[in-house]
C-alpha cells in the first residue's frame, strides 16, 4: 500500500507537469485541459480502487475468482434456459410422459402417450375441465364413461336415458347417449364429442373410443407410443 501511495503521488506530479507544459493552443494530447484532467483522475481512481480491492482480498483471490466464475456459469445457464424455455418444457413433458405412462406430452399438434407395463395405453383426459383417466379402446365406437366419471364431470345424470345397447367385458348392458362439451388430451381439444354413460356398476374403466379418435387428423401406435395428431 505504501508503494502504491508513492506511485500515486508520482502520477499526480506528472499530471501537473503535463498541465504546466501544455501547448499554446491549450490542448494536451489532442484533448482540452478539462477532458484530459478528468481522464487522468478516472484512471487514478480505478487504479486506487483496484489496488485496495487486491490488497484486501489477495489471500482469497482464488476463492473470489471461483465464486465469480460460478455466478457467471449460473447466469449463463439461466440465460440459456430462458432463451430455450419452450424446447426445455417440451423435453420435460416427454420425460414425464415416459416416467408416468398416461401423461400426455404435447409437441406442436401431436400428443404422445407411452405404453403402460400391461401393454395398453392409459390416457389422462380432461372432460369438461375434470381429470378423467381413460383407456384406449379402438373397438369402442364411442367414448364411454363410468357412471362415477360422468357424475364427476358434471353431466346431467338425472335426465339421461339408457337406450343404447353396448357390449362390455361384463356382458351386454345399456348406456345413455350424451354429448361432451369438451374433451382434451394434452394440447388437443375436441368439442361436442358424442359419448355414452354406462349404468352404475356396469363398467370399471372409462374408454377412449372412436368418437374422439375419428375427430383427429391421424392417430397411430408407433412402437411403445400412441401418437395423436390434431387438425391445424
The 3-state DSSP class for residue 122 equals strand
CB 166 within 8 Å of CB 172: yes
As a CATH number, domain 102-229 is 2.40.70.10
Specify which residues 107 forms β-bridges with.
110
Name the strand (E) or helix (H) holding 50.
helix 33-57
Q: What is the radius of gyration, based on Cα positions, of the chain?
A: 37
CB 194 within 8 Å of CB 213: no
Q: pLDDT truncated to tens, each residue of the chain (232 aa)?
A: 455 555 555 555 555 555 554 544 454 445 555 565 566 666 666 666 666 666 555 556 566 556 666 666 676 677 766 666 666 566 666 666 566 666 788 888 999 998 988 889 999 999 999 999 999 999 899 999 999 999 999 999 999 999 998 876 667 789 999 999 999 999 999 999 999 999 998 888 999 999 999 999 999 999 888 999 999 8
Q: Where are the domains of the chain?
A: 2-83, 102-229
Please tell me the number of Cα atoms within 13 Å of 59 on its side-chain side. Answer: 1
Amino acid at each position: 500500500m505504501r508503494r502504491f501511495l508513492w506511485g500515486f503521488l508520482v502520477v499526480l506530479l506528472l499530471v501537473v507537469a503535463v498541465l504546466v507544459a501544455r501547448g499554446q493552443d491549450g490542448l494536451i494530447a489532442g484533448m482540452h485541459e478539462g477532458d484530459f484532467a478528468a481522464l487522468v483522475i478516472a484512471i487514478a481512481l480505478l487504479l486506487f480502487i483496484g489496488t485496495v480491492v487486491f490488497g484486501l482480498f489477495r489471500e482469497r483471490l482464488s476463492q473470489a475468482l471461483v465464486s465469480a466464475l460460478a455466478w457467471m456459469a449460473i447466469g449463463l445457464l439461466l440465460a440459456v434456459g430462458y432463451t430455450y424455455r419452450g424446447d426445455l418444457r417440451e423435453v420435460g413433458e416427454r420425460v414425464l410422459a415416459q416416467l408416468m405412462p398416461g401423461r400426455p406430452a404435447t409437441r406442436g399438434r401431436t400428443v404422445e402417450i407411452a405404453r403402460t407395463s400391461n401393454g395398453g395405453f392409459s390416457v389422462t383426459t380432461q372432460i369438461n375441465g375434470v381429470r378423467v383417466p381413460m383407456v384406449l379402446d379402438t373397438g369402442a365406437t364411442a367414448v364411454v364413461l363410468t357412471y362415477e366419471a360422468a357424475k364427476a364431470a358434471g353431466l346431467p345424470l338425472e335426465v339421461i336415458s339408457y337406450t343404447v345397447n353396448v357390449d362390455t367385458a361384463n356382458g351386454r348392458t345399456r348406456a345413455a347417449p350424451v354429448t361432451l362439451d369438451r374433451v382434451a388430451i394434452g394440447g388437443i381439444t375436441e368439442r361436442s364429442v358424442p359419448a355414452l354413460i354406462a349404468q352404475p356398476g356396469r363398467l370399471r374403466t372409462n374408454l377412449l373410443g372412436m368418437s374422439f379418435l375419428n375427430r383427429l387428423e391421424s392417430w397411430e401406435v408407433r412402437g411403445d407410443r400412441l401418437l395423436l395428431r390434431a387438425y391445424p
